[in-house]
Every structure is written in structure tokens, then in C-alpha cells.
Amino acid sequence: MATHVKRAYKYRFYPTDAQAAELSRTFGCVRKVYNPALQARTEAWVLRQERINYSATSAMLTAWKKTEELAYLGDVSSVPLQQALRHLQTAFTHFFGKRAKYPRFKSKKKSRKSAEYTTSAFRFRDGKLTLAKMAEPLDIVWSRPLPEGAQPSTVTVSRDAAGRWFVSMLVEDQTVKPLPAAGAAVGVDAGLDHLLTLSTGEKVANPRHERRDRARLARAQRELSRKVKGSANRAKARLKVARIHTRIADRRRDGLHKLTTRLVRENQTIVIEDLTVRNLLKNGKLARAISDASWTELRSMLEYKAQWYGREVIAVDRWFPSSKLCSNCGTLQSTMPLHVRTWTCDCGTTHDRDVNAAKNLLAAGLAVSACGAGARPQRSTPDGQLAVKQETQRATAGTSRL
């Protein structure tokens, strides 16, 4: 690894009343700067086909502070406001590069409340963090130590829907280094009955975090619906619902971190399927279970951890018929309904559907690795063409192999 990994360490903190008020004002000002800048850039393009860059919006911010209406923007640190404009510039860069949709306005109620501070707007000394416009350091709960000698380059303060305050510090982590080479390779098949099935035959149970708290969540949501809009009781009920959601999300994220870290440590090559989760979510019967499984987040964790530790993650073409292909003799079955969990090939081998799929993914992934990046398993036989058509139809209907 030529350069050290930049890694964010996130901690919870408990602000004083004065700090909470200052940060809340900053969040509001960040939103107030972002939205008019987005509107100005949109109008310039629609009316004049003119692209406004970060420098132009920064000049606008200076002018806004001089007006009587927006003079309050000067009461908070200028750095988070400038960072909001930089984030807007990045959003447009991704949009014009066809990597993202058009930027959207920040909502007061729904958008994430956060503010980003660079080195000129905070002081970190002797394990104490003090932000600009604040006299006292933040009361941070150091749940784990920062890397020895690390100095944050960026600090992001946020507040979630449950009212919890977090600070995220971006540092260069010199402790992240490639792991010793491992000879093992594993195919990973994602599912719902089991979260993952490995080519080794191991099946990882699906914890179904959302289902465990579904009754509590439904009860809290019913209570929320009965409260008068705008009342204090409605705010309390909304907070109760948000806390249940965060509890579910925290448990899910913790489980995925532990699982992906184990897979990356134990295997040199990890082969997964390139699932289109967005299309699968169109299936009304399975959408909730698929969302709870969080396959997209699992894949993201595998990929960045593999990059950190010198491992390889290979995504096999989503149309590869891993469930219908015999991993022993290579015979392709014409059909394989979703309810069929075990089947016997003409060669006499009896397969567990998910284990067989994981083995086929591993073989296909190793072939891709040997043939070079971008290679995909090709199927030129009539049965193969039929398989492509059937896989397409199943994915469109939202009933792809699970």
C-alpha cells in the first residue's frame, strides 16, 4: 500500500446547552447556504446555459452576509458554510459525470443535520476537540482510541433523528496495512432464509433485525399517528419511533461489520453476485426482508475492507445462472423455481440450492480473475440463451434467486 488509508473514527458526544444551540444554528445556516446556491446554479443553467462553479457561489455567500436578511450567516463559523458549497460542487461533478442524479434541496425536517469543519476551524490538543465559535471542548465518549499520533484533517459533527450527537474525525490510519496473503477463496451467495451461504457449505443465519422489533415499531407508529401535528406530544412520539429505527440500524450495521471483517481476514479472494437490489425491491412481498438484509451495505463493506487489507472482491455477472448450473458436471437445468431448495442433477449429484450457487460463483469468479478484469462467463448454448431470458424475467418480476 503506497499511501496510508484515510479513515473516519466516529464518536458520540454530549454537548452543553450553549454548544447544542451553536451547532443547531450552524446546521440551519449550512442548509440556508446550500439551497440558494443550488437554486442559483439551476437557474443559471436553465435560463442562460451557464455553469456556475464553486468560486462563483463562494462570492455569492460573501454578498449574502452583507445583506440585512442574511446577516446572521456571519454569526456562525464560515468553514462549514464553505464546505457546504464544496459539497454542492462535488454533487454537480458527479451529476455531469453521470455517476449520480441531479442534486436535491435540503429539507429542514428530513435532511441529515451535519456540519463539516476543516483544520482552520477546530483545535485538537491532548485528546480534546474544540470547534470554532466555542469556548469549551466537546464532551466526547472515546469508545476506542484514535491511531497513535493521528491528527484529524476534517471533523464532521452530526445529529441523528433520535437526537444523538456524533463527531466523525478523518485521520490517516497507519495501522491499516495489507494482511498476510491467504490462499483461501470463497464464493458468497446472498439470500433471505440465510443471510449468506458460502461455497465451503457454511450458512450464516439471517438475524432479521427489523422483524425482531416490528411489533414495538408498529405500536410506536400508531401512537405517533394519534398525536396532534405540531404538539409537544407528537415530537416525543416521533422521537420514540426514531429511537427504534436507530436501534435496528445499529444492530444491523454491527453484525455486518463483524461478518465482513471475518470474511476479509480469512480469504484472499471473495466472489459475490452483482445483484440489482433496486430492482429486487420492486417485489412488494419481499421488499421489507430484502431491505432488512442490507445486501448493498454488505457489499460496500466487503469492497472497502478488501481494498484496505490487500484482498480481492469479484462481482460475477448477475445473469450467470448459478442456481441452475451443476457445480459437479456443468449441466444447466432449464428451470429452477424459487421453492426448490434441493435438487438432483442427471449425474446423480444432489445439491443444496444455495451451496451449489456459491460454488458456481466461486468458479466463475476465479475464471474472471484468470481471464482479466471485465471478463464474464459466456453462455453460447441454446440452454444458456434460455437461462438468460428466464433470469431476466425473474429479475424484472422481483423474484430473482434469493
pLDDT at 387: 38
Write down the pTM of the prediction: 0.83
Q: Are residues 129 and 201 in the same domain?
A: no
Residue 130 covered by a domain = yes
Domain boundary among 122, 151, 173: 173
Domain boundary among 124, 151, 173: 173
Q: Are residues 266 and 378 in the same domain?
A: yes
Q: Are residues 306 and 158 in the same domain?
A: no
DSSP H helices in 100-231: 209-212, 214-226
Q: What is the count of structural domains for the chain?
A: 2
Residue 74 covered by a domain = yes
Q: Are residues 47 and 75 in the same domain?
A: yes
Q: Are residues 9 and 155 in the same domain?
A: yes
Q: Are residues 56 and 151 in the same domain?
A: yes
Q: Are residues 270 and 377 in the same domain?
A: yes
Residues recognised as catalytic? 189, 273, 354
| CB distance 310 to 373 below 8 Å | no
Residue 224 covered by a domain = no
Residue 153 covered by a domain = yes
| Bridge partners, residue 276, by sequence | none
Q: Are residues 313 and 390 in the same domain?
A: yes
pLDDT at 105: 95
Residue 250 covered by a domain = no
Q: Are residues 202 and 160 in the same domain?
A: no
Contacts of 111 (CB under 8 A, 6+ apart): 31
pLDDT under 70 in the chain at which residues? 1-3, 371-402
Cell output for 278 = 433496486
Q: Are residues 282 and 156 in the same domain?
A: no
- Using a 10 angstrom Cβ sphere, with 0-12 exposed, 13-18 middle and 19 or more buried, the burial of residue 169 is buried
pLDDT at 275: 87
Calpha distance 240→216 (Å, rounded): 10
User: What is the DSSP secondary-structure string of 7-29?
Assistant: EEEEEEE---HHHHHHHHHHHHH
Residue 96 covered by a domain = yes
Q: Are residues 41 and 90 in the same domain?
A: yes
pLDDT at 3: 59
Q: Are residues 106 and 189 in the same domain?
A: no
Domain carrying residue 156: 5-173
Residue 124 covered by a domain = yes
Residue 168 covered by a domain = yes
pLDDT at 390: 37
pLDDT digits over 310-325, tens only?
999 999 988 888 888 8
